[in-house]
Amino acid sequence: MIHIAEHSDTMLFKNNAINKQFKFEIPKFIRWKSAVDYHSIIAVRKWLIVAALTLLFPGASVAQNNPGNRAFNQFQVSFQQVWNFKLDEMAKLIELGKITADRRNNLMMIYGGKDQSDFKRKLVVTHWDGFRFALDGSADFIGIPPDALLVGRFVPVNKDKSILSAQIPTVPAAGKQKKKTVSPHVNWQVATGEGIYSWDGNALQRLYATPTNLRLAISLVNTPDLLLAGTGSSSVLYQVGEREMIQAPPGLPQDTNGYVRFGVGTQDYQGADQLEIASGIHYIQSYWDTRNKWFIGVLKGRDTATPLLPGYSIGDRLVVYTTKFGRQDSSFWTTTFKDMDETWRSEPLPGHILDVRVGDPKNDGKDGILVLTSENNDTQRHLYFYTVAKGSSIR
């Protein structure tokens, strides 16, 4: 049995099974709006799960620093829009990562159904061919809102890139189930709220079922990434086992580097209304490496919601927070909001922001912020890409 006690700004974990105590410093910019039943969270990696949970429930707005670029912060950063692109399909979420080749980024998208009652989904993998995002492969599935889309190194692999002990069931004509070993083309996978998929060289191959209520991934450096499902006391941290997704084991992780990446965009779900990092600014994405440490938010524009388009707005803006001088070497888990400055706001975008990711969608050699918007009363989809104009660049 694992007991958890609260001591001011510190969470103290005591695991009677191994007779050890662990302390985790809760980020000071997080305030809990309501009590959470921590005792229901068992058999998970305590240090990471509490960190993820605190990020999911900021609970109260934090007074905003002066907006705009901070002249006294030498680590301030500003961005410029370098291109935009109109999509032919009604994408719901986007994601960036190396799925079909080790040296080429792909743009993944989830296409939604015809309306809110249509649960048919399509996961597509594309790449930039110089003119458009050309289709590499796709997979149809049934999705339950809110959808999730995340790329990561979720599956442990051998040096030859074959999945460690992973066997995928197939059903032959006789009806007896056989097993076949899957060798992924690269060691990155894509996760939805229905399953984890890998590229086998020609098509997407479904590897495992996933919890339907995925929210985020915990990106780690030296160990496979983890997935968080649920919110509040029902949250559970998962890792990939030999043949299925399993709850992560208790105890501190061996790899304490990394950060949280959100996979649900601006969709509405229980707890989403509490993801406010400053007045009116919704926390939507993170990026954290040795040079760049960003919290990315969305400032809602003019409310144009209707019964058919609840929560819809136009003129949404991006807001980026970076670390202050003296805190540039801090880890994601030990950073507090007082260590961050709002350093840049975009001009209002023409529509409603659906999702925000960080990467290099056209393989131009420089990463940036990719934004998916809904425009013209939710009849069109656009991509907008921003790169660093001033300050540290990712590459």
Least confident of 73-77, 108-112, 208-212: 73-77
For residue 107, is pLDDT > 90?
Answer: yes
In a domain, residue 290? The reply is yes
Mean pLDDT of 316-326: 91
Full domain range(s) for residue 260: 2-390
383 pLDDT tier (thresholds 50, 70, 90): very high
Asked if 217 and 152 count as a contact pair (C-beta separation under 8 A), the reply is yes
Q: What is the residue-wise DSSP string for 85-128? A: EEESS-EEEEEEEEEEETTEEEEEEEE--SSTT--EEEEEEEEE
Question: Which residues, at least 6 apart from 91, have a Cβ–Cβ distance to it below 8 Å?
Answer: 109, 110, 111, 112, 354, 372, 381
Interval 58-64 mean pLDDT: 36
- The yes-or-no verdict on residue 191 having pLDDT over 80 is yes
Structurally, the chain folds into a number of domains equal to 1
Residue 313: strand, helix, or coil: strand
Domain assignment present for residue 266? The answer is yes
As a whole-number percent, the residues of the chain with pLDDT over 90 amount to 43
* Type and span of the H or E element at 355: strand 352-359
22-31, 304-313, 332-341 — which is least confidently predicted? Answer: 22-31
Query: What are 169-187's pLDDT values in tens digits?
Result: 444 445 554 544 444 446 7
- Give me the DSSP letters along 41-74: --SS-HHHHHHHHHHH---SPPPPPPPS--TT-T
Evaluate if residue 314 carries a pLDDT over 70.
Answer: yes
Residue 108 or 310, more confident: 108
What integer pLDDT is reported at residue 41 of this predicted model? 29
Q: What is the pLDDT of residue 301?
A: 92
Per the model's pLDDT, the better-predicted residue between 314 and 65 turns out to be 314
Complete DSSP assignment for 261-300: EE-STT---TTGGG-EEETTEEEEEEEE-SS-EEEEEEE-
Most confident of 41-45, 114-118, 151-155, 331-335: 151-155
What is residue 45's predicted lDDT score, i.e. its pLDDT? 36
Determine the average pLDDT of the residues in 192-217. Answer: 92
Predicted confidence at residue 392, as pLDDT, reads 59
Q: Which residues pair with 165 in a beta bridge?
A: none
333 vs 196: which has the higher pLDDT: 196
What number of H helices and E strands is found in the chain? Answer: 1, 29
Counting Cβ atoms within 10 Å, is residue 342 exposed (0-12), middle (13-18) or buried (19+)? buried
Neighbouring-strand partners of residue 110: 93, 123
- Lowest mean per-residue pLDDT among 3-12, 68-77, 228-237, 319-328: 3-12
What integer is the mean pLDDT of 327-355? 89
Q: What is the pTM of this model?
A: 0.78
pLDDT of residue 1: 31
Residue 34 has what pLDDT? 32
Residue 287, pLDDT score: 93
Mean pLDDT (whole number) for 193-202: 92
Does residue 395 lie in a domain region? no
pLDDT of residue 75: 59
Q: Is the Cα dihedral 147, 260, 86, 133 positive or negative? A: negative
Average pLDDT taken over every residue of the chain: 76
* Beta strand 167-170 pairing with 133-142: unpaired
Total residues belonging to the chain = 395
Q: What is the pLDDT of residue 46?
A: 40
Q: What is the DSSP letter of 348?
A: P
The total of other beta-carbon atoms located within 10 Å of residue 226's CB is 24
Span 229-235, average pLDDT: 78
Between residues 13 and 272, which one has the greater pLDDT? 272
Confidence of residue 250 (pLDDT cuts 50, 70, 90): low
The pLDDT of 195-224, averaged and rounded, is 90
Query: Using one digit for the tens of pLDDT, what is the confidence trace for 112-153?
Result: 887 778 899 999 999 999 999 999 999 999 998 899 999 999
Question: What confidence category does residue 254 fall into, taking pLDDT thresholds of 50, 70 and 90?
Answer: low
The pLDDT of residue 64 is 42
Most trustworthy range by pLDDT among 92-96, 174-178, 203-207, 363-367: 92-96
Query: Distance of CA 332 to CAs 56, 223, 373, 377, Å?
Result: 14, 17, 28, 37
